[in-house]
Structure 1
Amino acid sequence: MKRMASLIGGLLLSSHVLASDVFYQQFFSPTLRHHYPYSVYLPDGYDADASTPYPVVYLLHGSFGNERDWVSRGNLPQVADRLIAAGHLPPTVFVMPGSRSWWVDGYNEPARSAFFDDLLPHIESAYNVGSERQLRGVAGLSAGGYGALNFALERPDMFAAAAALSPASYVPEPPANSSARRHPAFLNEQGEFDRERWKALNYTAHLEDYRLNVTPRPTGTREMYPVPLYISAGRSDVYDAEFHARLLRQTMEKIQPSDVRLDLYPGGHTWRVWRASLPAALNFMFQHIEPPATSSSE
């Protein structure tokens, strides 16, 4: 039976957890200057002393959400349990951080910097997870999809795969009904939505550097490999997410034609769509998240 509990120090240091568990944790973030909350899923049989580290996926919540959303509303523990038991995923650690921003260094807090500078080092020191690109993925819904996409494009050296579910990555700017227009991350000192700030922080600002990094040179070499991207959206999304998802797919296919997938679902900008698309997103990501291949002599 799955247990929901606060993680105490002795259990964190225990070598074995007998069943998959979700724990609610926090640590002090120097970047944020306050405690950084997160939920963590540890798979059945998690071994803190195992010689091979576990893959880790960071799951980002949506606008005005929190670190418990993927557990309480997204069914992450049940989906992960099922996919791992069926052999579709290896035993994996899922980290679901909380943020007051849209995963950007916005007007209200430096969420992007805190993610890279504080959260990742903390997780990699507290849990037996890989610190290599091939063992790390990032995904999110709505504003979290916006964040996951930005992270993957900005730091393709750090993620083996990404998934953006109904990403709020609107171009050229959010629709009139989007919460981005009233979110503190994008409100200037006058309390007005800053269009230039949005443009500077959206995924389009990362595209050219990303393209240059992942496109093979005439010699066949490249700076780094592209980050395979899964995208989903509901066909009845009130924020027109299907249109923006199709635009994102078209944009990314010009850079990495074999490494983009878009799935459309009946429904709107709701947890019904995100729960439905989560298994497909994880199956897609784990075609690319894997331990280093073991070399063999022939």
Structure 2
Amino acid sequence: MKRTRMLIIAALMSLAASAQGVNESRIVTDTILSKVLGVKRAYTVLLPKGFDSGDTRRYPVLYLLHGMWGKNDDWVSQGRLKDVVDRLVASGEARPMVIVTPDAGGGDPNVYQNGYFDMDGWKYETFFFTELVPFIEKQFRTGGSKANRAIAGLSMGGGGATAYGLRHPDMFCAVYAMSALMDIPDGRETDAEKPDGKLAKLTRSVIDHSCVRFVAEADSQSRERLRSVQWFVDCGDDDFLLDRNIDFTRAMRHAAIPCQFRVRDGVHDWEYWHTALYLCLPFVSRNFSAQ
């Protein structure tokens, strides 16, 4: 009898654990074969609690971009993304959402081509909008419209997220930029050692796609389209990119485009970007359309 009771208890515990597993957020990493880039690109996805429960509803989506020396799994391994998401969703401060962290480089920008823009031999922006977004949103029942799609990122990814929002305002309801590479800082315009190297190409692409200049040169029609996006810029007070972030927010103010700006205590590191998630996820949640 005692053995029977033990077996029943063990079976119930197993069932409870299985049910709990179904209802927890989970991380998926896979690749997509890109015809545009001619290679496979990795991506990591956080799927919210309940995604695998048989519910067929679509979820809002946040595209969360990594920095210059990073890759797709950085937000999970260094930013502790899953812990933050689970905590904020449980408290009601953030909505359940799908979060996608694609790979726009693979590591060292001197070795691997990096960047979120189209350049010679690396049409990443074309890949992102024509291949990655349609694939993700079909595969994971998410997004489907501007009202349920947001973008954010850190450093190079913060500049990429901002530039994507500026250049494709019909795609995103909200943009959150962390320590963003809005333009190249003064004195870092060229790579004198390897003027034709991958890092030099990346640097030129950032200059060519300056977020500050885009806003400053926007005509009245473009400015009106940009007002349909909710903007948030977040940069540390000791960050080497602070001046470029100030330049961007000044340009936005001059163009009468509402943009929240926060300068917090911190530098250009994962301590800052991890804490930024506690602002970013509630911000995009507030701007997704009501279910």
**Under a length normalisation based on structure 1, what TM-score does the superposition of the two structures give?**
0.79
1:1-298 matched pairs, under 5 angstroms: 17-47=22-52, 50-100=55-105, 101-170=114-183, 173-176=184-187, 181=191, 188=196, 197-207=205-215, 208-209=217-218, 211-215=220-224, 225-237=227-239, 239=240, 241-257=241-257, 259-291=258-290
- Paired residues in the alignment total 262
Structure 1, unmatched stretches of 5+, are 1-15, 216-222, 293-298
Cα displacement (A) at 1:253: 2.1
Deviates further, 133-142 or 248-257: 248-257
Q: 1:55 to 1:197 in 2, by over 3 A?
A: closer
Counterpart for residue 220 of structure 1: none
Secondary structure of the structure 1 residue equivalent to 2:101: strand
Structure-2 separation of matches of 1:71 and 1:47: 20
Cα displacement (A) at 1:263: 1.4
Render the CA deviation track for 1:192-242: whole Å, top value 9, x for unaligned.
568765432222453344752342xxxxxxx575211111111112x2x22
Structure-2 separation of matches of 1:145 and 1:88: 23
Secondary structure of the structure 1 residue equivalent to 2:207: helix
Structure 2, unmatched stretches of 5+, are 1-20, 106-113
Structure with more of its chain in helix, by fraction: 2
Counterpart for residue 12 of structure 1: none
Counterpart for residue 3 of structure 2: none
Structure-1 separation of matches of 2:142 and 2:259: 26
Structure-2 separation of matches of 1:55 and 1:190: 35
Cα displacement (A) at 1:190: 10
Secondary structure of the structure 1 residue equivalent to 2:71: coil
Structure number with larger C-alpha Rg: 2
Q: 1:91 to 1:181 in 2, by over 3 A?
A: farther
Cα displacement (A) at 1:252: 1.3
Cα displacement (A) at 1:119: 0.6
Render the CA deviation track for 1:176-196: whole Å, top value 9, x for unaligned.
468x84899xx5479856876
Secondary structure of the structure 2 residue equivalent to 1:206: helix
Deviates further, 35-44 or 224-233: 224-233
Contact 1:153/1:210, CA 8 A, preserved across alignment? no
Structure 2: which amino acid aligns with 1:151? Y
Structure-2 separation of matches of 1:51 and 1:152: 29
Structure 2: which amino acid aligns with 1:87? G
Structure 2: which amino acid aligns with 1:231? V
Counterpart for residue 9 of structure 1: none
What fraction of aligned residue pairs are identical, expressed as a percent?
28
Root-mean-square deviation (CA, aligned residues, Å) is 2.8
Q: 1:102 to 1:86 in 2, by over 3 A?
A: same
**Under a length normalisation based on structure 2, what TM-score does the superposition of the two structures give?**
0.81
